[in-house]
Structure 1
Amino acid sequence: MPVTQVSLSGGPAAVAYDRTGTGPGLVLVHGTGTDRAQWQPLTAAVADRFTVVAPDYSGSGGTTDHGGPLTVADLADEVLAAADHAGLDRFHLVGHSLGAVTAAHLAAHHPDRVRSLALHACWAHTDTRMWAEFTHWLDLLRSDAAHGTTHFARMLPLMAFGPRYWERTDTAANEDLVRALPPTVAPGTDRQTKVDLSVDLRPLLGRITAPTLVLASAHDRLIDAAQQQALLAGIPQARYQEIDAGHGAPGEDPAGFAAVIAAFLDERRTADEAAGAGLPGGPGAPGTPSVTAGR
């Protein structure tokens, strides 16, 4: 697993990432409380035609840092550092939830680096209701840490999954899931949730020049329609699509989620190839070796 160094606002970080496949660069940014493993279904679907870089940002997976407060800019710097270390000049960029916020921040500050942008469950700014939600998450995480409870894990399916999950599960299966979730929650989820509290992309949206897919979940109880409309109104080349799932679509419907994102990426790749964009010397160009995960 490659690791690269980057300086954050609070100190240094060692950013771990996976690099898989061959072709134009694609960078994937995970959400709060997860890690790069969130992207395995999408990576499997596109690695035959994209060089996929999936980093862990601070608080998740193999990445280590100073242990203090984080900002959206810090997470974007970590993602860009992984792309740089992997040798990607220009790349397609996909993010989920806080990862989508991070991806939008990166695209606004480095528009020359981003070929296309796909934002799932992104939001323009943390409003009063979202502040209350994230503060509740922090309360649950503190209680779990102090008392050995699993309140945060019990909340996750309620927050993340839509009606299709609840229609096909039963009480026993949901209880099994709740019991299985605590070991999968990233150790820095509380630090990442504090970043969620600070989000305000509104001054940056107009600086995003990449063709952008604003992908909403039809049953997202965390991100409302007004947030999606703000993204569409603020990003010049944005279009809208929905998936029939809740906020946690990558976990609720991995195949369907991967198919939607892959279709968008293939469309943008075809457009780039038609325009002759970035072919000489890019990942997957003639003479460029393919890369597999862990190398």
Structure 2
Amino acid sequence: MSDGTSRPALLLAHGAGGSLATNYGPVMHRLTARYTVIGADYPGTGSTPRATRPLELDGLADQLLAVADAAGAERFTVSGFSLGGPVAIRLAARHPQRVTGLVLTAPFARADAQVRLTARVWRTLAGSGDATTLGRFVFAHALSPAALEAMDPEELDAAAKETGAAAPEGTPDQVDLVERLDVTADLARITAPTLVVSPVDDRLVPPRLHRAVAAGIAGARLVEIPGGHLPFAEQPDRWAALLTGGVTGAVE
């Protein structure tokens, strides 16, 4: 929410099956030190009621804009993680006068065949009630091989079960949108300075899709970082530095 200071506003768009708390919580203290941070969970996440019809990208973008309006933020940078990437792209394409910059982490303009197949399995597991298998599936795709190997088998299995049990109720709806969305045509309409952060070991949204987003936005800067799909888990300090550095800040 807006706190009346002169700090710039940062609007957060989280990923499918995530939340503001899970995706940005580990770096939130760094973000709030620099920005007035604004955001809202998608339908079916946190205290936001689950949708009664299929989610649409325009609806999520409108939801974020409404939160910014309620906070009194006329202009803002948007940080979009994973599914939040295309949400941020759609918001910036529709409201270029409001968006001062984009920081897109592990984004995609549309799901390719591999991502669609992965999403269909993810959506089925999310609706199955089998939290253990869901968590194992997510960990296998979202963490890098190095991060997985660093955990002993019992620790890994316990963490996977916990992750599956904590999946938001609206995860199937959000993953369904991952399969359907396409912001390819929006990329050429982006006028805001853009930074694309690409985790090089991302197996959920492969780096080729991150690079395609950067290539489609005029003047976009691509920065590769180590690790898998979840930089807040594997590279929180490096990710926070990129988020707080903004779209033109120096990379350490």
What displacement does 1:199 show?
A: 1.8
Counterpart residue identity of residue 58, structure 1: P
What displacement does 1:20 show?
A: 6.8
Within-5 A mapping of 1:270-285 = none
Contact 1:34 1:184 in 2 (8 A): no
Could you say which residue in structure 2 is the equivalent of 1:44? 29
- Is 1:224 the counterpart of 2:209 in the alignment? no
Within-5 A mapping of 1:55-74 = 55-64=40-49, 66-74=51-59
Deviates more, 1:98-107 or 1:226-235: 226-235
CA distance in 2, matches of 1:202, 1:260: 24
Could you say which residue in structure 1 is the equivalent of 2:157? 175
Contact 1:96 1:120 in 2 (8 A): yes
Equivalent position to 1:35, from 19, 42, 46: 19
Counterpart residue identity of residue 182, structure 1: G
Secondary structure of the 1:143 match is coil
CA gap of 1:189–1:20, structure 2 versus 1, over 3 A, is: farther
Question: Structure 2: which 5+ runs fail to align?
Answer: none
Counterpart residue identity of residue 9, structure 2: G
What displacement does 1:118 show?
A: 0.4
CA gap of 1:49–1:133, structure 2 versus 1, over 3 A, is: same
Q: What is the aligned-residue RMSD (CA, Å)? A: 1.9
Could you say which residue in structure 2 is the equivalent of 1:111? 96
What displacement does 1:184 show?
A: 2.0
Question: Structure 1: which 5+ runs fail to align?
Answer: 1-17, 269-295
Contact 1:21 1:52 in 2 (8 A): no
Contact 1:124 1:227 in 2 (8 A): yes
Could you say which residue in structure 2 is the equivalent of 1:5? none
Larger Rg: 1
What displacement does 1:266 show?
A: 7.8
Counterpart residue identity of residue 230, structure 1: A
CA gap of 1:163–1:65, structure 2 versus 1, over 3 A, is: closer
Q: Deviations over 1:57-81 (max 9, x none)?
A: 2121121254221111111111111
What displacement does 1:198 show?
A: 0.9
- Is 1:256 the counterpart of 2:238 in the alignment? yes
Contact 2:44 2:171 in 1 (8 A): yes
TM-score by length of 2: 0.91
Secondary structure of the 1:246 match is coil
TM-score by length of 1: 0.79
How many residues of Structure 1 are paired with residues of Structure 2 in the alignment?
248
Equivalent position to 1:95, from 71, 80, 94: 80
Contact 2:242 2:249 in 1 (8 A): no
CA distance in 2, matches of 1:266, 1:233: 17
What displacement does 1:213 show?
A: 0.5
Could you say which residue in structure 2 is the equivalent of 1:278? none
Counterpart residue identity of residue 185, structure 1: A
What displacement does 1:142 show?
A: 3.0
Contact 1:42 1:262 in 2 (8 A): no
CA distance in 1, matches of 2:15, 2:114: 19
Q: Deviations over 1:68-112 (max 9, x none)?
A: 211111111111111111110000110100011111111111111
Could you say which residue in structure 2 is the equivalent of 1:291? none
Contact 1:53 1:83 in 2 (8 A): yes
Counterpart residue identity of residue 226, structure 1: R
Contact 2:13 2:40 in 1 (8 A): yes
Could you say which residue in structure 2 is the equivalent of 1:234? 216
- Is 1:192 the counterpart of 2:174 in the alignment? yes
Secondary structure of the 1:48 match is helix
